[in-house]
């Protein structure tokens, strides 16, 4: 006897009352007649599905085992199409076709596979890294290891290579807590790429939300991805998945029919002209429709339950909260996630925008959602490029963009700060190119973002000019040190750990080649930067984390904060308009540990008078030098041109709490006038 739930293909073990077999169930209210098709080599069997319940077609077939290929056939405008199960847990091969797509070609596409969820997790627990301690590393499964000669335990570019001892050693040495993988769900390449015999390398064109892409497997994508996750967990490293639920690979009104368009036209947002395109990809999923919401929620739960995924980064997440042309903070999707006990412990990171009306929603996602902070990226890039007028905004970004994300809502609303993301310049290219160079994408350099806020330091592209190379390295250190010593969750790009260049391509979505594959040939300069980065992440954990914890929640106003000019005077309102140098002084309680961050935006050195708070400061970092030689500093610091310095001193043991609160209140009140607006 078949059942409507759960949807998809679900194996049933034999018992005294039930035979062994598989229950197939698919939501298809727009299909009057639907057949299940089972494939065995070149032969196939078809079964008419007679059982229906609330738009769900379901059938039980005995003697089915894992690995069985299947699909659903339906007559659409007089032609017999084979449709892929939206709940497919695996596919038979990497999907590909030669445009245009047709009913005949649908029968030669990748088939869904029946899977067995049995896997030995060996009682390895999830790392469960606190938000404030999280260091994100964004990478592409294949691009991360394809050219790494140190990979020995697995095929380069594969799921299992992610957990190769060489990769795990690197991640641990770098201090990475969480790997954020670009989409690994089965991807179908856009028609214009297929015509060029190209691919969507990034994977932002989802065909099956629950099935891992076989492009990165040698035999069994399901088992190999689970194995990689287990071994990363065993070594204390979380796995965050980048997921695409805002649109599907079916494209616009004239796009191909893979499943959802035929099964239920209400899966997508529509208007009188057809499909709404708030994603730039031709369609937008309508999560106010119950079936769409179910598909997304079931997919998320499946990744957590069956793959032990630690969290998700949601591509163009504003679409998920849409009610037509408007974004709704109380959207059904947000409520569904918030009440789900499986999803509640996971990390949820939103890209808080799409390209539709009312599409920019930074800071408007509900509690429990962290958000990618593009304001941090743009402001910090502009500041270190030397642009004027960013001092106050720069200070606000360092303090966690609190006008967007109040410290009272930390850590669950800590912003995800970043300098570089997959969809833009790498860090190396950010300091090497003034303009994008995307001609390899085949669109005459029209694609990609034009507002990069980059600076080539004097020469466009690769150079052997020693002075320019040194300046670029210093700029990289300025950007990364600002990222690591700001309030928020740091997001790093894997390419930046090896100083990888994409040749100025800031939209390498279709480059499955050396443009996107990380170059692991480390010269002395690259190795020095990688070693420096490891030390700086360790310094963040040692010196910055206590301040993030202290400035979080109800006790955040019990601590000290002051802003200084280079002459040692507390900054006044007019100073924010014309100063090029800035000092941020942070202190715990009245006499606890202290940090002093010094910034010089111009090329001229500055003699910075330090605050009159003995004892002597200890130097943590000076970006003018690659080396972290210890140094004790007293009342002045010679701040090099275009550089940043981090100084630290340990405080005296805390005294009676009751006396501290009163004293801290006085200090806080006194310091308010010295802070840029909205930075508190």
Active site members: 315, 351
Residue-wise over 592-611: b if at least 16 C-beta within 10 A, else e? bbbbbbbbbbeeeebebbbb
Residue-wise over 44-69: b if at least 16 C-beta within 10 A, else e? beeeebeeeeebbbbbbbeebebebb
Q: Residue 526 CB: number of other CB atoms within 10 A?
A: 18
Residue corresponding to tokens 């039930």: 18
- Contacts of residue 341, defined as CB under 8 A and 6 or more positions apart, other chains included, come to none
Distance CA 256, CA 494 (A): 34
For the chain, state the CA radius of gyration. 27
Structure tokens at 121: 């997790």
Asked whether the beta carbons of 2 and 12 are under 8 A apart, the reply is no
Distance CA 144, CA 671 (A): 46
Distance CA 445, CA 108 (A): 35
How far is CA 236 from its chain centroid?
19
Residue corresponding to tokens 């099964």: 263
Asked whether the beta carbons of 242 and 181 are under 8 A apart, the reply is yes
Q: Residue 588 CB: number of other CB atoms within 10 A?
A: 20
| Residue 253 φ/ψ, nearest 5 degrees | -55, -40
- Contacts of residue 224, defined as CB under 8 A and 6 or more positions apart, other chains included, come to 158, 159, 160, 216, 217, 218
Residue corresponding to tokens 């940043």: 644
Strand partners, 138: 180, 493
Asked whether the beta carbons of 141 and 182 are under 8 A apart, the reply is yes
Distance CA 408, CA 414 (A): 10
Our CA angle for 521, 526, 532, nearest 5°, is: 140
Residue corresponding to tokens 């350099």: 445
Crossing angle between the packed helical segments 165-174 and 524-539, to the nearest 10 degrees: 60
Distance CA 9, CA 134 (A): 37
Q: How many CA atoms lie within 13 A of 593 on its CB side?
A: 14
SS3 state at 311: strand
Distance CA 55, CA 326 (A): 29
SS3 state at 246: coil
How far is CA 40 from its chain centroid?
39
Residue 237, class by beta-carbon neighbours within 10 Å (0-12 exposed, 13-18 middle, 19+ buried)?
buried
SS3 state at 101: coil
Helices (H), 201-282: 221-234, 260-263
Asked whether the beta carbons of 383 and 390 are under 8 A apart, the reply is yes
Alpha-carbon distances of 93 from 110, 118, 199, 213, rounded to whole Å: 5, 21, 15, 9
Asked whether the beta carbons of 110 and 84 are under 8 A apart, the reply is yes
Enter the DSSP assignment of 543. Answer: I
């Amino acid at each position: 006897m078949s059942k409507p739930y759960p949807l998809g293909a679900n194996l049933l073990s034999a018992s005294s009352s039930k035979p062994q077999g598989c229950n197939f169930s698919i939501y298809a209210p727009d299909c009057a007649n639907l057949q299940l098709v089972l494939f065995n080599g070149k032969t196939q069997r078809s079964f008419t599905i007679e059982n229906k319940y609330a738009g769900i077609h379901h059938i039980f077939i005995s003697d089915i085992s894992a690995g069985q290929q299947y699909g659903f056939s339906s007559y659409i405008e007089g032609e017999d199409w084979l449709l892929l199960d939206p709940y497919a847990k695996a596919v038979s091969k990497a999907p590909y076709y030669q445009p245009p797509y047709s009913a005949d070609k649908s029968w030669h596409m990748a088939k869904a596979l029946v899977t067995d969820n049995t896997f030995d997790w060996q009682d390895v627990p999830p790392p469960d890294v606190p938000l404030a301690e999280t260091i994100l590393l964004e990478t592409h499964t294949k691009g991360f290891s394809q050219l790494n000669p140190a990979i020995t335990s697995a095929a380069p570019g594969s799921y299992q290579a992610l957990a190769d001892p060489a990769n795990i050693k690197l991640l641990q040495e770098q201090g990475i807590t969480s790997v954020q993988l670009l989409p690994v769900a089965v991807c179908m390449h856009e028609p214009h790429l297929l015509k060029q015999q190209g691919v969507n390398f990034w994977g932002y064109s989802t065909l099956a939300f629950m099935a891992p892409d076989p492009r990165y497997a040698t035999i069994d994508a399901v088992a190999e991805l689970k194995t990689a996750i287990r071994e990363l967990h065993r070594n204390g490293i979380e796995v965050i998945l980048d997921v695409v639920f805002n649109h599907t690979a079916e494209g616009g009104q004239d796009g191909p029919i893979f499943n959802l368009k035929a099964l239920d036209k209400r899966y997508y947002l529509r208007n009188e002209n057809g499909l709404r395109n708030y994603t730039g990809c031709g369609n937008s999923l309508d999560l106010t429709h119950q079936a769409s919401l179910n598909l997304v929620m079931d997919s998320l739960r499946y990744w957590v339950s069956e793959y032990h995924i630690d969290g998700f980064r949601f591509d163009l997440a504003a679409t998920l909260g849409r009610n037509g042309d408007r974004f709704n903070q109380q959207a059904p999707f947000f409520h569904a996630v918030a009440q789900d006990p499986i999803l509640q412990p996971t990390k949820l990171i939103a890209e808080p925008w799409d390209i539709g009306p009312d599409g920019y929603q930074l800071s408007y996602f509900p509690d429990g959602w962290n958000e990618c902070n593009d304001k941090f990226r743009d402001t910090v890039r502009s500041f270190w490029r030397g642009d004027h007028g960013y001092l106050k905004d720069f200070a606000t970004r360092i303090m966690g963009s609190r006008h967007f994300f109040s410290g009272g809502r930390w850590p669950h609303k800590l912003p995800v700060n970043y300098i570089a993301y997959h969809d833009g310049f790498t860090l190396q290219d950010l300091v090497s190119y003034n303009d994008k160079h995307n001609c390899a994408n085949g669109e005459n350099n029209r694609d990609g973002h034009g507002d990069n806020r980059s600076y080539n330091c004097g020469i466009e592209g690769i150079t052997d000019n020693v002075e320019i190379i040194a300046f670029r390295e210093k700029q990289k250190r300025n950007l990364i040190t600002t990222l690591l010593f700001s309030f928020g969750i740091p997001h790093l790009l894997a390419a930046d750990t090896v100083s990888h260049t994409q040749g100025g391509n800031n939209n390498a979505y279709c480059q499955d080649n050396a443009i996107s594959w990380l170059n692991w040939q480390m010269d002395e300069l690259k190795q020095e930067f990688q070693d420096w980065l490891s030390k700086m992440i360790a310094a963040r954990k040692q010196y910055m984390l206590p301040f993030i914890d202290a400035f979080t929640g109800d006790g955040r106003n019990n601590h000290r904060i002051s802003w200084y000019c280079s002459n040692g005077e507390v900054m006044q309102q007019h100073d924010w308009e014309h100063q090029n140098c800035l000092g941020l002084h942070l202190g715990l309680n009245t006499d606890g540990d202290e940090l002093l961050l010094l910034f010089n935006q111009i090329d001229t050195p500055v003699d910075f008078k330090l605050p009159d708070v003995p004892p002597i400061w200890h130097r943590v970092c000076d970006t003018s030098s690659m080396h972290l030689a210890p140094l004790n500093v007293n009342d002045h610091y010679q701040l090099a041109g275009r550089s940043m310095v981090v100084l630290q001193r340990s405080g005296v043991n805390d005294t009676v709490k009751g006396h501290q609160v009163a004293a801290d209140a006085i200090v806080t009140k006194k310091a308010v006038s010295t802070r840029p607006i909205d930075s508190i």
